[in-house]
Structure 1
Amino acid sequence: MKIEIRNLTKVFGSQPLHGLQLLENGEQKDEILKKTGMTVGVDRATFSVREGEVFVIMGLSGSGKSTLIRLVNRLIEPTSGEVLIDGENLTKMDSKSLIETRRKKLGMVFQNFGLLPHRTVLSNVAYGLEIQDVNKEEREAKALKVIADVGLKGYEDSYPSELSGGMQQRVGIARALANDSDILLMDEAFSALDPIIRKEMQDELMNLQSKLGKTILFITHDLDEALKLGDRIAIMKEGQIVQIGTSEEILENPANEYVSKFVRDVDRSKVLKASNVMKKPEVLMTQKDGPRVAVRKMEEIGASSIFVVDEENKLQGLLTVDDAIKAYKEDILVEKLLIEDLYKAAPDTPLSDLIEIAAQTKYPLTVVEDGKLLGIISRVSILSGLVLGKESKENGVEAK
């Protein structure tokens, strides 16, 4: 695992170890505050993050999520517990080793951008390398590359005050990337942006992640943002992690009433992907099959068309029963009668992107990866994915 968090706890107050003992004796956060005046910021958090994963921690204000991310890089000292990065225990490092680990492995992106107003974009992005004594030519070359990566090429000589909020946050991300850190810690990074720019930054982060494959620990109070960005999500309440899972797992099986309330009004079409609703074709036709074989296969399942693939399962097209009969009667090669203008979705295409397309086409949508046919999606599949999912969620809430 890239990051391992083990029983990480933070108690704010004059006698944190006493507060920790009360926690271990089973007392709750509110009881400890009332008795001692001490606040439990994080309560025995345990989780791990895989290399290249976007792990989102979400919760309402006061849930402990921002404290947790600051414990990860020891901007706040933990009361107890362990933080391991690549197997190295940060909680046992001396100051020198900790600073070195932060510089080389941990990049931080804050909500308030944290840019130096008197420095240009180039100088801001290169700042981390500058304090590491990297020579000017090398650090500017690295900075220029990541500036281009985040879509700010041409703004190298601009100052923060000359940029929009979204552009300033891109500078913040570029600064974290310039150090070539393996891990990005992002604390409410897009919360200060207006909704349109926020969505653009979410899309930009997903695009960067597809190219760079960083390990990202992302903090947010916005469930839609968590569901969109996270490979997995941890939901926090009162300092505790109450559930960890994928978007689908949390939507389908909320751990308790608190999580159920969070997900009750989620637009499932924005969360479900093509891979969640696709089905394997009942039968397929290969290029070596003739028209009579195609008709027989369609008769077996009562279909009026069949998908055609090559020996590597790469999609070639769709053959209708009328065209199969025509090919047989008129001795025409099947390949010449294939319908090739089919909609091809990637497995991770959001269901919301497919609804209108499915309504306008008379053929099933195909789910394709590297040219290979993974499955098909009919209009019925889309509707059942939305309706049945909603029903199961409602039934789960009623049962609690």
Structure 2
Amino acid sequence: MARRFGGVAAVTGLLALGIPATASAAPPAQGQCATPLGTYTGAVPWGQRLLDPARIWPLTRGEQQVVAVVGTGVDGQNPQLRGQLTGGAEAASDCDGRGTIAAGIVAARPDPSTTFAGIAPEARILPIRYTNGGGSTEGGDPKALASAIDQAAQKGAGVILVAVPSTADSPELSAAVDRARGRGAVVVSPAAATQQGGHTYPTATPGVLAVGSINAAGEPAQTEAGGYLGLAAPGADLVSTSAGPGGGHRWGITNPGLAAAYVAGAAALVRAYQPGLTGDQVVTRLLLTAHRPASGGRDPRRGWGVVDAYAAVSSALPADVAGPGLPGKPASLPAVTPAAADARPHADRVAGALALAGVGAAVTAGFAVAAFRRGRRRSWRPSRFAPSRENSS
């Protein structure tokens, strides 16, 4: 049975945010740099609770994955990001702050002083600056963005997160996306246009996993809409790492451009747990396992639904399963049943190891039940969707 988006709205609407709305959604004014509000000690942020990465960490924490954050740079001195940056120091600072916020959502390591943590805390961050922000909510030159994407792909990023998309397109940008995908990278970009009817790039570029944003009630939180949107993720009332002296956090952040960071973190987890998948297969998994819109089809601002990181990592799918959004693929989604899971939090390595055993048993049981039901429906005839070697962990 397909999972519907309405269920996410009901669940997220009941979450107690515990987040004072004091942080600005916009980058700092020209001539100023981002500064932390302090150390966040409130309730676990609702976006983090929605994706529930601790449920996935017994399976994978994003080990050996490189996520490029293309935008305004990343402040590598933030304590939750210290030691995680790779690729040189040329972009390891961030006056604007948006790159550091996005990087924290992807890969901030758990810290006992805060309830905030990233989705894939063992992933490495490759910061690539193509714009300084300069107080503008818009991105920079699309040709410079194309060069940044090329650089990310050449340095081996398996996931390329465009944290600050451009409001203009160019042939060079489309070509850079094609080259990155040719190297096997997943290119993720947010729908972040501020003008009604506006588009951002490479968000609207074919082959890019375009991400819309939602608030805690499951409602769209961005202006940009279009048939190219693939998924939705949290983009309002967020918490993450902050650039600036002493590190720390910002919270109460509403910025649709940050929704793509959750999807990039989920993609890193999928790539770590299923290393044999191509970039397109990773995208297909994320689309097929999303919480669907109530219509069951593509929503113009929420795509095929809200990202479900656990289902994307753990569900049993054949390697050649068809998904939407790529040439020759269908315009609708088949139902996908996610693996059973142990939903308890995993606070430390010992608890995580014990939980891993429980998750493994539950997943095995879930596969067995699914196989039994399929067999009974097919009068025990062989199915062409038998699990392939690609899906083994």
The question of a shared fold, defined as TM-score above 0.5 by the shorter chain, is answered with no
| Structure with more strand by fraction | 1
Alignment TM-score, normalising by the size of structure 1: 0.27
Could you say which structure has the larger radius of gyration? 1
Higher relative contact order (CA 8 A, sep 6+): 2
